[in-house]
Amino acid sequence: DIQMTQSPSSLSASVGDRVTITCRASQGISNYLAWFQQKPGKAPKSLIYAASSLHSGVPSKFSGSGSGTDFTLTISSLQPEDSATYYCQQYNSYPRTFGQGTKVEIK
């Protein structure tokens, strides 16, 4: 199985900060990488697919990059509503696997 490792596990940043989360795959996954946002008690929400393509309706402050084994999710200007846990997921091979999550808090 492909292991997905996110870093950091949690972070605290101020409103307006630029925030970057990294996701590393244990083997190459091309660009078959998705990012999801989950707020407490809610369903996940799809943000990005194909490593860098934004889902419809997702604000442009979110961006993704990477290919192969190393990927990043960037929030260009952190807002209070961005407080959530973010997960990466590879969909290159089965079983699909998720990272352990990165909890983003507002200072």
> Which residues bind to another protein, rule: CB under 8 A?
1, 32, 34, 36, 38, 42-46, 49-50, 55, 87, 89, 91-92, 94-101
DSSP at 30: T
Residue number, 34 or 75, with CB nearest to another protein: 34
Q: Is 15 exposed, middle or buried (0-12, 13-18, 19+ CB in 10 A)?
A: exposed
Nearest to 73, CA basis, from 8, 29, 21, 36: 21
CB of 14 to another protein, least distance (A): 26
2 near 96, Cβ under 8 Å? no
State which residue, 28 or 77, has the beta carbon closest to another protein: 28
Minimum distance, C-beta of residue 9 to another protein, in the bound complex (Å): 11
Least gap, CB of 43 to another protein (angstroms): 4
